[in-house]
Structure 1
Amino acid sequence: MSRIDVFVAPRPNPALIRIMTVVNRVVMLHGIPGFRDLLPFNRLAGLRGVANVRHIDFPDDDRQRLKACCGAGKATFITPNHPEFFTDWMIDKEIVSQVSPLAASWATHGVVNGLGRIMQKFWLANNLIAQIPGNSGAAKEHSIAWALKGHGVLLHPEGGVGWHANVVGPLLPGAVEMGFEALKRGRATDQDSRVWIAPVVWKLAFTKNVEPALAQECAYVEKSLKIERRAADTLPERVHHIYATLLSRDEIACGMVPDERASYAARQTQLLLELSRRLGEGISVDPSANEFAELLRRSRRWLRENTGDAERQKQVRTLADTIQRLQRVGPWASANSRITQEEIAEHLKRIRNDYCKGTLRDTINRFVPQPAGPRCAHIRVPEPLGLHAFPGSIDDALAELHSRLQAAVTTTVAELEAAGGFIFYPNPFYHR
């Protein structure tokens, strides 16, 4: 096995973690006052703040609620929502620095193990746990043991980033499964053992009107994907036109005739059904009896078990990848009649991640996406879920965790809207 697929236990260095907390706060989040708004210095991400998060709104009640379930005698799994890549770890690190500085954090194996030995040592010293796809047993064992020592373990139950901050996606069971196992092991020696699943949500909001910067990014996407701009379109209509054009290209590649009179959601649904039918035929599964998520799971298993037929492997992988990519624009996109600048920014980042590839600029953007302007991170902590007092199953606990995360996101968004924190436009994706 290559080094990238081999789990190595973190070796946290408290001094380095303290130093990186300050670096993260200044260089990655806030930027340097006096330079971050001054040309030409504000064009340098390290002076402006790479993630350009100028303000952290983390009420003391929420901070204390999270802090109270961390520490000696408590095994705690911290589960934030996952609305944005790169900024995720920066904000998560700021959160744990205030409640449990030696908390371990899960990260993709490509980051922890894939950047060379020196960077691997650096990430392990920062207490990052490498997630090895298909081989996460060692990471889970280490996480349970670390949590039982009284240090938190942070991981994103949504898995990958979907770029939809107002909606919490389906959750993976890993944190809850580890929590119940930690409870079992803890109670073997102490019947009063406490295990917490601690949900955290954060919502990013621009601190000023950033339409010119969003329009500039939209123009880059149009040029990169060779999509002609329609002169009369508003900014949201330009984004919708990009997605509609990309959908037409997928329909044509599938042998379907695009119906531009139909809504985006209706066309997307018909294409997904046809692709799932073909994928089901390719792996000998009836797609009518499986949801998309289950069909994709079955296709990944098929790809692992049937490596002999290269051509069929390519067909199955292409179909599965296309379905997964199309699904990233979910029903939430057309649910509301209005759309915010933050949601437009998310659409553009999702398009760039999924479609704009092949240049150094696109590669850098995929790993370190740059925001359109300065932002505030509004952090909230719903009531932690005590597995030691929870009577239900893993599925029940997962459903409760999702409910608490979504309720906190919805409440936070409503509070910001009531305070006039968003700029709205008519939503071209909307349909009744």
Structure 2
Amino acid sequence: MGRIDVFVAPRPNPALIKIMTIVNRVVMLRGVPGFRDLLPFNRLAGLRGVANVRHIDFPAGDEQRLKACCGGGQATFITPNHPEFFTDWMIDKEIVSRVSPLAASWATHGVVNGLGRLMQKFWLANNLIAQIPGNNEAAKSHSVDWALKGHGVLLHPEGSVGWHGNYVAPLLPGAVEMGLEALQRGREINRDFKAWVAPVVWKLAFTGNVERALARECAYVEKSLKIERAGDGSLPERVYRIYSSLLSRDEQACGLTAEEGASYAGRQQRVLATLGRQLAEGIAADAGLDLAELLRRSRRWLREGKADAEEQKRVRELAETTQRIQRVGPWAFSNQTITQEEIAEHLKRIRNDYCKGSLRDTINRFVPQPAGPRCAHIRVPEPLGLHDYDGSVDDALAELRSRMQAAVTRIVTDLEAAGGFISYPNPFYHH
């Protein structure tokens, strides 16, 4: 195995972590006052704030709720939602700096191990835990050990970024499973030991009208993907047209012809059904399995590497295409209106999934730039005390997800009531 696939335990450096907290707050999030709104300085991401999060709305009561379940005599696994890449680490770091400064954070092995030995040393000193696909036992064991010392461990239960800030995806079981192991080990020494899974949610909202910036980004995507703009269509219609055109390409690749008048959701399901049958055939699985199970089995099939290179490539492409098309979920069709924030998420998802090959696209994938200044609204739902919980792991995940979704929905509802969103008719709903 290469270094990227080998787990190395973090070696946290408290002094570096404290310095990086300040750097994160100024350079990565808020920017430098006096420069962040002045041309030409506001075009420099480090002066403007790379993630351009000017304001942090983190009520004292929520902060205290999270802080209360961190510290000695208890193990805490902090589980934020995962609506945006790069900004996730910056906001998560701001949160843990306030409640558990030496908390460890899970991150993809491509970041921790894949950027060279010097950067690996830097990330390990910042207490990042490398998530190794298909081989996470060492990372889990280290996480439990660290949590037992009274420091938090942060990981995203949704898994990868979905670019859907209003919707919490189904959760993965890692945090609950590690929490239960920590509880069992802690109780061997202290019968009053407690273990928590502490959900956190944050929602980003623009502080002003960013339609012009979004239109420029939309034009870049249209040009990059060779999709002709239709007349003077509105910004949401242009985004919808991009996705509809991309789906047409997938239909053609599957040998399907779009039915006249069919909705985007209906067309999407036909393509996914076809891909599912092809994927089941490729890995010799039951065609009646749902897509989630087929994708799990395909990942295992690929890790085992029993087929020749050509067949592995075909199965990998089928699985990647299926996952890519699924990333526009039912949440996209559920509301009659769409906000500027949701349009921005669509554009970032398209750029991440489809716009590749140039340096500009590569940089955008790792450090996506927002269309304008934003406020991060952070809330902490009631933590789940595993020491007082008798349900199954699946029940715990359902409860955590319910609490997280309810908290996100409350943020959105409150912002809507205060006139905090600019909205348009949602073409995914109406077409």
TM range, smaller chain = over 0.9
Q: Corresponding residue for 2:327?
A: 328
Q: Does 1:16 align with 2:12?
A: no
Q: Note the alpha carbon deviations across 1:240-275, whole angstroms, 9 max, x for none.
A: 000000000010011111235211001000110011
Query: d(CA) in 2 for partners of 1:308 and 1:402?
Result: 38
Q: Corresponding residue for 1:294?
A: 293
Query: d(CA) in 2 for partners of 1:398 and 1:379?
Result: 21
Query: d(CA) in 2 for partners of 1:311 and 1:74?
Result: 50
Query: d(CA) in 2 for partners of 1:305 and 1:79?
Result: 31
Q: Does 1:389 align with 2:388?
A: yes
Query: d(CA) in 1 for partners of 2:142 and 2:313?
Result: 36
Letter in 2 for 1:209: N
Q: Does 1:403 align with 2:424?
A: no
Q: Corresponding residue for 1:32?
A: 32
Query: d(CA) in 1 for partners of 2:430 and 2:154?
Result: 38
Query: d(CA) in 1 for partners of 2:117 and 2:59?
Result: 39
Q: Corresponding residue for 2:370?
A: 371
Q: Does 1:263 align with 2:263?
A: yes
Superposed, 1:202-351 pairs within 5 Å as 202-288=202-288, 290-351=289-350
Deviation at 1:307, TM superposition (A): 3.9
Letter in 2 for 1:423: I
Query: d(CA) in 2 for partners of 1:306 and 1:185?
Result: 37
Deviation at 1:426, TM superposition (A): 0.1
Number of matched pairs: 431
Q: Corresponding residue for 2:107?
A: 107
Deviation at 1:28, TM superposition (A): 0.1
Deviation at 1:315, TM superposition (A): 1.5
Query: d(CA) in 2 for partners of 1:54 and 1:366?
Result: 22
Deviation at 1:140, TM superposition (A): 0.4
Q: Does 1:83 align with 2:83?
A: yes
Q: For 1:269, what is the secondary structure of its paired residue?
A: helix
Q: Note the alpha carbon deviations across 1:141-200, whole angstroms, 9 max, x for none.
A: 000000000000000000000000100001110000000000010111111010010000
**Any conservation in 2 of the 1:96–1:103 contact (CA below 8 Å)?**
yes
Superposed, 1:416-431 pairs within 5 Å as 416-431=415-430
Deviation at 1:311, TM superposition (A): 1.9
Structure 2 length-normalised TM: 0.99
Structure 1 length-normalised TM: 0.99
Q: Note the alpha carbon deviations across 1:61-93, whole angstroms, 9 max, x for none.
A: 000000000011110000000000000000000
**Any conservation in 2 of the 1:17–1:126 contact (CA below 8 Å)?**
yes
Letter in 2 for 1:352: R
Query: d(CA) in 2 for partners of 1:119 and 1:310?
Result: 32
Q: Corresponding residue for 1:192?
A: 192
Letter in 2 for 1:426: P
Q: For 1:273, what is the secondary structure of its paired residue?
A: helix
Q: For 2:353, what is the secondary structure of its paired residue?
A: helix
Worse-superposed segment, 306-315 or 340-349: 306-315
Q: Percent of aligned pairs with the same residue? A: 79
Uncovered stretches (5+) of structure 1, i.e. residues with no partner? none
Deviation at 1:117, TM superposition (A): 1.1
**Any conservation in 2 of the 1:335–1:431 contact (CA below 8 Å)?**
no
Q: For 2:372, what is the secondary structure of its paired residue?
A: coil
Query: d(CA) in 2 for partners of 1:193 and 1:279?
Result: 46
Q: Note the alpha carbon deviations across 1:76-127, whole angstroms, 9 max, x for none.
A: 0000000000000000000000000000000011111111111111111100
Q: Does 1:137 align with 2:142?
A: no
Q: For 1:287, what is the secondary structure of its paired residue?
A: coil
Letter in 1 for 2:205: A
Deviation at 1:431, TM superposition (A): 4.6
What stretches of structure 1 move > 3 A for 4+ residues in a row? none
The CA RMSD over aligned residues, in Å, is: 0.9
**Any conservation in 2 of the 1:239–1:348 contact (CA below 8 Å)?**
yes
Worse-superposed segment, 297-306 or 416-425: 297-306
Q: Note the alpha carbon deviations across 1:374-400, whole angstroms, 9 max, x for none.
A: 000000000000000001111111111
